[in-house]
Amino acid sequence: MKYSFLKLPVIFLLTCLISSKVLFAQDSVSLRMHLNTLCSKSFSGRGYVNDGMGKAADYIVNQFRSDSLQSFTKDYRQAFTYPVNTFTSVMDVKIDGRTLQPGVDYLVHAAASGYYKESMKVKIIDGLDFAEKVKKKDTVLIKDWEKWSKQLTKEKFAFVLQNIDTINSLMQWKGNKEFVKHLPKGVFFIPYHKKPIWTVSQAAMPATVIEFYDTNFVFKKNKISVAVDNKFLTKFEADNIAGFVPGKESTDSFIVITAHYDHLGKMGNRTMFPGASDNASGTSMMLELARYYAANPAKYTMVFIAFAGEEAGLLGSKYFTEHPLMDLGKIKFLINIDIMGDATSGISVVNGKTHETEYNILAGLNKAGIDGFSFKEVRQGGAAANSDHYFFTEKGVPAFFIFSMGGKGYYHDIWDKADKVTLQNIPQFGELVKRFIATF
Ligand SMILES: [Zn+2]
């Protein structure tokens, strides 16, 4: 053995680089496996069709069990219910015999009712006509709208609504979200000049609103056929999944990692929203951290929670904070992960301005480097009610919500697929979180 002393540091450095690369590579294999599974067809977009959310819950329970996490309940589950509007079977919209592509040409409004009717005539309704009708009035009342909108009750027509903004501002309604609730039963096309973004609704409304995204299409004397089936469930049953690894030094102080595992599911029986980035990616990271801490317990008890019902309005985390499985006052810190699929531009930290000290620790660890890697940016964000950290923050639990910045920007659409998620710099995020947790 004749290595010179000069060469030793080089070899050491090389070994470190290679081993950290191998480490990150292994992490990314596990992350990829979870991600692909959670986005696969059989999970149906982890929503309300074919028990998709239930299957994802089972998957997480099995992971927690095989990693030997402990449970607050008998099977890691915390059950709760909520009302939700679902589209579980037929969804077929045709113009002049041509079937429109769901998720591409149109979205059915999340709160829409079902409707079956063939060969409706198109009638274009312009909001400017309403403005014309009420223009001499100082204040426009709901009865003005009700009188004018009577023309929308003729069920032989499919209405195409234009210039709704005018109506919204006259009625002082908060955009189309409020507008559509005032529509009667019937079919209404609302043209949009933006990317389709679908949601989940806890309520159902009388109208069947078709958000129409084919901007090249000009409605004339067309024939429209609609077959949309909805099911409004008053008590959809969902489970939060929680497991923990007792701390080495203290078992009644907690560090909590959370991620929502639900997504939008399917719009009808054919159109799936895989939710790869949102939030199969964050769920995969949470599972990997759970596996790591099960094998390498921390100073404090590590708690891992996968929330349901996030897309319907942060419902799982709200329920958990109202029915906590442990003392919320004993949480030293909580990290919520929602969208962790591609961090080529860095990471963003919601509540980074609220918890300045912890933010500085995190940013400092990044600056020092994670085995030679640093994120381009660790953005210091303010408070926001945009994910599952929110109700914890409201209860005084110190929490960050961290999401990755980068990727193709697919969001709540049919293109948010596993193969579009690169996992670039994502294992490094896992390592940064471990180092951050070690500072507590
Ligand atoms: Zn979402």
Beta-strand relationship, 271-273 and 231-245: unpaired
Residues 374, 345 contacting (CB under 8 angstroms): no
Predicted local confidence at residue 24, as pLDDT: 77
pLDDT band at 78 (very low <50, low <70, confident <90, very high): very high
What are the pLDDT digits (tens) for 193-252? 999 999 999 999 999 999 999 989 999 999 999 999 999 999 999 999 999 999 999 999
**CA of residue 308 to ligand 1 center, whole Å:** 11
% of the chain with per-residue pLDDT over 70:
95
Q: Angle 214-220-223 (CA atoms, 0-180°, nearest 5)?
A: 85
Structure tokens at 21: 């690369």
Q: What is the pLDDT of residue 420?
A: 97
Q: What is the pLDDT of residue 22?
A: 64
pLDDT at residue 215, rounded to an integer: 87
For residue 303, tell me if it sits in a domain: yes
pLDDT tens, residue by residue, 136-171: 888 999 999 999 999 999 989 999 999 999 999 999
Band of residue 68 on the pLDDT scale cut at 50, 70, 90: very high
The span from the CA of 359 to the CA of 400, in Å, is 9
Same domain, 299 and 412: yes
Q: Mind listing the pLDDT tens digit for each residue in 299-339?
A: 999 999 999 999 999 999 999 999 999 999 999 999 999 99
Q: Ligand 1 mean position to 107 CA, how many Å?
A: 16
Same domain, 285 and 422: yes
Do residues 146 and 181 share a domain?
Answer: yes
Question: How many angstroms separate the alpha carbon of residue 262 from the centre of ligand 1?
Answer: 9
- Virtual torsion, Cα 419, 362, 261, 341, nearest 10 deg: -10
Within this chain, do residues 357 and 272 fall inside the same structural domain, yes or no? yes
Give me the pLDDT at residue 28, please.
86
Q: Give mean pLDDT, residues 122-145.
A: 94
Domain assignment present for 190: yes
In a domain, 379, yes or no: yes
User: 108 and 59, same structural domain?
Assistant: no
Q: What is the pLDDT of residue 285?
A: 98
> Does residue 148 sit in the same domain as residue 204?
yes
Residue 249 and residue 212 share a domain: no
Distance 191 CA to ligand 1 centre (A): 23
First CA to last CA distance, the chain: 43
Whole-angstrom distance, CA of residue 19 vs CA of residue 1: 22
Are 168 and 315 in the same domain?
A: no
Range of 118's domain?
A: 90-228
Say if residue 188 is in the same domain as residue 288: no
Do 282 and 338 fall into the same domain? yes
Which tens digit of pLDDT belongs to each residue from 332-391? 999 999 999 999 999 999 999 999 999 999 999 999 999 999 999 999 999 999 999 999
Q: Number of folded domains in the chain? A: 2
Going by C-alpha positions, the residue among 109, 386, 67, 365 that lies closest to residue 230 is: 109
Same domain, 75 and 134: no
pLDDT at 19: 54
Q: Which of 144, 166, 155 is nearest to 188 (CA)?
A: 155
Is position 363 within any domain?
Answer: yes
Query: Given this model, what pLDDT does residue 4 score?
Result: 42
- The CATH code of the domain that includes 94 is 3.50.30
Q: For all residues of the chain together, what is the average pLDDT?
A: 94
21 pLDDT band, cuts 50/70/90, is low
Q: Are residues 55 and 100 in the same domain?
A: no
Residues contacting residue 120 through CB under 8 Å, at least 6 positions apart: 155, 156, 157, 158, 187, 223, 224, 225, 226
Report d(CA 359, CA 341) in Å as an integer: 21
Specify the CATH number for the domain of residue 341: 3.40.630.10
pLDDT level of residue 16 (50, 70, 90 thresholds):
very low
* Token pair for 225: 């056929």
Residue 8 lies in a domain: no
Residue 96 lies in a domain: yes
Q: Does 5 map to a domain? A: no
The last residue of one of the domains, among 228, 252, 286, is 228
Q: Give the pLDDT of residue 27.
A: 80
CA 259–ligand 1 middle distance (angstroms): 11
Instruction: Inform me whether the pLDDT recorded for 173 exceeds 60.
Output: yes
> How many angstroms separate the CA atoms of 264 and 46, rounded?
7
Q: How confident is the model at residue 273 (pLDDT cuts 50, 70, 90)?
A: very high
**What was the pLDDT predicted at 23?**
64
**Half-sphere exposure (Cβ direction) of 85: Cα atoms closer than 13 Å:** 21
Q: Among 228, 252, 269, where does a domain finish? A: 228
Residue 243 resides in a domain: yes
Distance 371 CA to ligand 1 centre (A): 32
Residue 427 pLDDT more than 70?
A: yes
The residue with tokens 């596996």 is 291
Q: What is the pLDDT of residue 3?
A: 41
Tokens 């697929």 belong to 417
Give the tokens for residue 102: 């769901």
Q: How far is the CA of 260 from the centre of ligand 1 (A)?
A: 9
Q: Measured between alpha carbons, how far is 26 from 21 in angstroms, rounded to an integer?
A: 9
Q: Which of 175, 202, 228 finishes a domain?
A: 228
Q: What is the pLDDT of residue 177?
A: 93
- Give 185's pLDDT tier (boundaries 50, 70, 90): very high
| Cα 263 to ligand 1 centroid, rounded to whole Å | 6
Q: How confident is the model at residue 180 (pLDDT cuts 50, 70, 90)?
A: very high
